[in-house]
């Protein structure tokens, strides 16, 4: 983990610890890298509850309560999906703060509408939920790493 990401994780941990609350992650294209990055910092057990790697749509539906109609109509890489994912993981883990990530890390799987590097994220911080789409560049690992950095940064900025 680079020093910038480590600083973000430490800031996030201080914020959560200071409010006595915990957070969770729901990940698809990052395959657990966000949870791993958060737990690379000592003391994360004070504020990190856990995460769900919902790589397959069946897991998104079964564990995170993403409605099947959302996946059929909008796809897994969509605002609607990640917003449902973040609400689902926060409900599942009983935490007020969470992040959800779903995208196309490549090298295949992209389309004209959703090229490789398209990543949707949603965040929940208490009663507020927001989302954003990113278009990252690079190879698979670089897209995953950029996604995690953006996900953590989004919570810190909030």
Share of the chain above pLDDT 90, in %: 96
**Phi, psi torsion values for 156, nearest 5 degrees:** -65, -40
pLDDT classification of 3: cutoffs 50, 70, 90 = confident
DSSP string covering 5-33 = HHHHHHHHHHHHHHHT--EEEEESTTTTH
β-bridge partners, 120: 102, 133
Over residues 116-138, the mean pLDDT reads 98
- The C-alpha angle 150, 82, 132, rounded to 5 degrees, equals 45
Return the CA Rg of the chain: 14
Strand order through the sheet with 128-135: 48-53, 23-27, 97-103, 118-125, 128-135
Q: Are 119 and 101 in contact (CB under 8 A)?
A: yes
Average of per-residue pLDDT values in the chain: 97
Over residues 133-141, the mean pLDDT reads 97
The reported pLDDT for the residue numbered 97 is 98
Q: What are the tens digits of pLDDT across the range 65-79?
A: 999 999 999 999 999
**Phi, psi torsion values for 22, nearest 5 degrees:** -125, 165
Q: Would you give the distance in Å from CA 152 to the centre of its chain? A: 8
**Cα distance between the two ends of the chain:** 22
The pTM of the whole model exceeds 0.85: yes
The structural domains of the chain, ordered by start, are 3-157 (3.90.950.20)
């Amino acid at each position: 983990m680079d020093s910038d990401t480590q600083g973000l994780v430490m800031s996030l941990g201080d914020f959560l610890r200071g409010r006595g609350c915990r957070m969770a992650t729901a990940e698809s294209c990052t395959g657990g890298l966000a949870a791993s990055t958060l737990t690379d910092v000592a003391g994360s057990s004070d504020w990190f509850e856990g995460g769900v790697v919902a790589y397959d749509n069946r897991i998104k539906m079964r564990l995170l309560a993403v409605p099947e109609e959302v996946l059929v109509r909008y796809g897994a890489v969509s605002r609607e999906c990640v917003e449902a994912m973040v609400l689902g993981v926060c409900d599942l883990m009983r935490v007020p703060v969470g992040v959800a990530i779903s995208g196309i890390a490549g090298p295949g799987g992209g389309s004209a509408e959703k090229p490789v590097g398209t990543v949707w994220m949603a965040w929940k911080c208490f009663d507020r939920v927001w989302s954003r789409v990113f278009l990252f560049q690079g190879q698979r690992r670089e897209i995953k790493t950029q996604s995690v950095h953006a996900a953590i940064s989004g919570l810190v900025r909030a």
